[in-house]
Amino acid sequence: MRAAVRDDVAAGKNEGRVCTRFPPEPNGYLHIGHAKAICLNFGIAAEFSGRCNLRFDDTNPAKEDVEYVESIQEDVRWLGFDWDDRLYYASDYFERMYACALELIRMEKAYVDSLTAEEIRAYRGTLTEPGKASPYRDRSVEENLDLFERMRAGEFDDGAHVLRARIDMSSPNLNMRDPTIYRIRRVRHHRTGGEWCIYPMYDFAHSLSDSFEGITHSICTLEFEDHRPLYDWFQETLGLPSRSQQIEFARLNLSYTVMSKRKLLQLVREGLVGGWDDPRMPTLCGLRRRGYTPASVRNFCERIGVGKRDGVVDVALLEHTLREDLNARAPRVMAVLRPLRLIIDNYPADKVEMFPAVNNPEDPSAGTREVAFSRELLIEREDFMEDPPKKFFRLAPGRTVRLRYACLVTCTGVVKDERGEVVEVHCRYHPRGEAEDLPRARATLHWVSAPHSLPAEVRLYDRLFLVENPGDEKEGKDFKTHLNPGSLEILDGCRLEASLGAARPGDGFQFERLGYFCMDPDSRPGAMVFNRTVALRDAWAKIVRKTSA
């Protein structure tokens, strides 16, 4: 891909100029598949010191809406790209396109067809049989001009006539069998209002728009490969001064998720997720709410490469670029998701100490903060086991562990409720001097001081689907049958260290030893909500998995 562009530049094509465009249709939210296209178009332009335009392909008013043109701009900006003042709309070119259509009619390269949609389909032929000419194919230029002008004037109902390019009804490429280029749609357009009642089709509009904008490289996905001859035909036949090279690439597929607009829309419509920005969605707004950083998405797009092979990229790679970025910049903090009371018997009840804690070991400039320590602490329930297996080296009766940034403690006993459940762990701490003589603690636990901690709700997310390729609906299996019932787990009663009281929605942190979390916009004063962006890699979980398997 880059090589092709490089060759064109080297060959002096377009005077070495490079101009690309990202052309979304404003009929849905952008997802990570679009991010690949965005990074490609803006990336190539930047690499060859060219320009990349943002152009809305708004030629089908029945499906489009301003809601989408706004969200799309927000998402592209969030990803970190800038189109300066080059924000365009295909609808801005309607008048010029109409003039081009008139021109095609005069050249006898287009005609008004009055067949019904069904008839046109029947006349088109099949994959193996050629199509046959419409009885209206040889209308005179005058009649075509008259009819087409009256189409624009609004004299006909939807579907009464269409304008077709006059190419070759027996072409083995179905796209060349006199494709429709204008249809009547008496629908208000979100930008042109009631000005038009005929709208151009994609192939015509896209080819012309690219030429009008001086696009040198028109990057699109594989399914348009068959359209390239038609794309070229419009520019050549009309003798447009600016020609562009269409280059195709394979769209992105991610394991354990779906990417088609139709399926994503279905998830939203049927309430299977909370909305377009549900943190489990692969939409850019969903990823943003989940806590993904723009850099992590960009790096991901960089690493997957670009080719014409359609495959499925492992989400593990996305998670890797995410952790890589978050590890470098997320402030560390201590939070306990499933609290277990830990009492330090030899620590005075009214004493409170402040210990300095490192904000980010990967970034010394992030500094330190103070965390409160007291007799009553809360630790993670899964960090204590009454009867630990061999490789478990966290807290257990008689065991000594380190409390991060604080001290060494040894478990002296437990308190159980009537059901035999451990509800309290008792320990003895080792003051400096004594601690040095102890054998090295094999584990370090995170904790919070019970009286100083803050309550919060934490939402744990997992992959939305249970199978690698849920979109593959062969054998009639609906993709929704693969939904993961455990993709969202809500934890209440979590306790956070006091410094989190200053967090704001969108802020991301590493909850030490647990994962990366970010504050959700659902948070209210006194009722914080955090989303788990991604868990830390977990060697212990791997051991558990292996020994139980």
Partner RNA sequence: UGGGGCGUCGUCAAGCGGUAAGACACAGGUCUUUGGCACCUGCAUUCGGAGGUUCGAAUCCUCCCGCCCCAGCCA
Map the footprint of RNA across residues 85-104, applying CB under 7 A.
Answer: none
Q: Which of residues 467-496 bind RNA (CB under 7 A)?
A: none
Helices 294-304 and 32-47: crossing angle in degrees, nearest 10, is 80
What x/- string results for residues 240 through 259 when contact with RNA is judged by CB under 7 A? ----------x----x----
Tokens matching residue 232? 């070229």
Q: Is 313 in the site for RNA (CB under 7 A)?
A: yes
Minimal distance, residue 173 CB to RNA, in Å: 4
In 3D space, the residue among 216, 208, 213, 212 whose CA is nearest the CA of residue 15 turns out to be 216
**Is there binding between residue 537 and RNA (CB under 7 A)?**
yes
Q: How far is the CB of 300 from RNA (least distance, A)?
A: 9
- The least CB distance from residue 456 to RNA, in Å, is 18
SS (H, E, C) 438-456: CCCCCCEECEEEHHHCEEE
Which of 251, 263, 428, 480 does the annotation list as catalytic?
Answer: 251
> Does 120 sit near RNA (CB under 7 A)?
yes
In the residue annotation, 261 being an active-site residue is answered as yes
Which of residues 49, 140, 173, 368 is near RNA by CB under 7 A? 173
Residues of span 183-222 touching RNA by CB under 7 A:
183-185, 199, 201-203, 205-206, 222
364 binds RNA (CB under 7 A): no
Exactly one of 135, 172, 501, 505 binds RNA (CB under 7 A); that residue is 172
369 binds RNA (CB under 7 A): no
Residue closer to RNA by CB (options 498, 543) is 543
Tokens read off for 530: 């955090």
Q: Residue 162: which H helix or E strand, with range?
A: strand 162-165
| Interacting span for RNA (CB under 7 A) from 144-152, 281-289, 364-372, 538-546 | 538-546
Q: Contact with RNA (CB under 7 A): which of 225, 386, 478, 489?
A: 225
Collapsed DSSP state (helix, strand, coil) of residue 199? strand
Report the candidate in 520, 518, 512, 519 with the shortest Cα–Cα distance to residue 536: 512
State the angle between helix axes of 94-106 and 141-153 in degrees (0 to 180), rounded to the nearest 10. 160
Verify binding: residue 454, RNA, rule CB under 7 A.
no
Among 95, 226, 386, 489, binds RNA (CB under 7 A): 226
Phi, psi angles (nearest 5°) of residue 395: -75, 140
Nearest to 489 by CA among 535, 532, 538: 532
Residue of the chain from 135, 154, 305, 486 that contacts RNA (CB under 7 A): 305
Question: What string marks each residue from 502 to 521 as x (binds RNA by CB under 7 A) or -?
Answer: --------x-xx--------
Cα-Cα end-to-end distance for the chain: 45
Contact status: 410 vs RNA (CB under 7 A): no
- Known catalytic membership, residue 25: yes
Q: Which is nearer to RNA, 203 or 278 (CB)?
A: 203
Contacts with RNA by CB under 7 A: the residue count is 87
- Does residue 124 belong to the site contacting RNA (CB under 7 A)? yes
372 binds RNA per the rule CB under 7 A: no
- How many angstroms separate the Cα of 342 from the Cα of each of 334, 339, 410, 498? 15, 9, 11, 18
Kindly state the smallest distance separating residue 488's Cβ from RNA, in Å. 23
Q: CA separation (Å) from 227 to 140, 176, 203, 222, 223?
A: 28, 8, 7, 10, 8
- Minimum CB distance to RNA smaller for 265 or for 274: 265
Using only C-alpha atoms, what is the Rg of the chain? 31
Please give the biggest Cα pair distance in the chain: 103
- Residues 261, 329, 341, 381: which is the catalytic one? 261
Active site (annotated) includes residue 302: no
Q: Binding to RNA by residue 415, rule CB under 7 A?
A: no
Asked if 540 is part of the footprint of RNA (rule: CB under 7 A), the reply reads yes
Answer yes or no whether residue 444 interacts with RNA by CB under 7 A. Answer: yes
Q: How far is the CB of 545 from RNA (least distance, A)?
A: 8
Q: Report the length, in residues, of the chain.
A: 549
How far apart CA 217 and CA 236 sit, in angstroms, is 16
134 lies in the site for RNA, by CB under 7 A: no
Contacts of 187-191 with C-beta under 8 Å, sequence gap 24+, read 187/61, 187/62, 188/61, 189/58, 189/61, 189/64, 189/91, 190/26, 190/58, 190/61, 190/64, 190/65, 190/66, 190/69, 191/58, 191/89, 191/91
Position 180 contacts RNA (CB under 7 A): yes
Complete edge-to-edge strand list for the sheet that includes strand 51-56: 19-22, 51-56, 87-89
| Residues noted as catalytic | 25, 251, 261
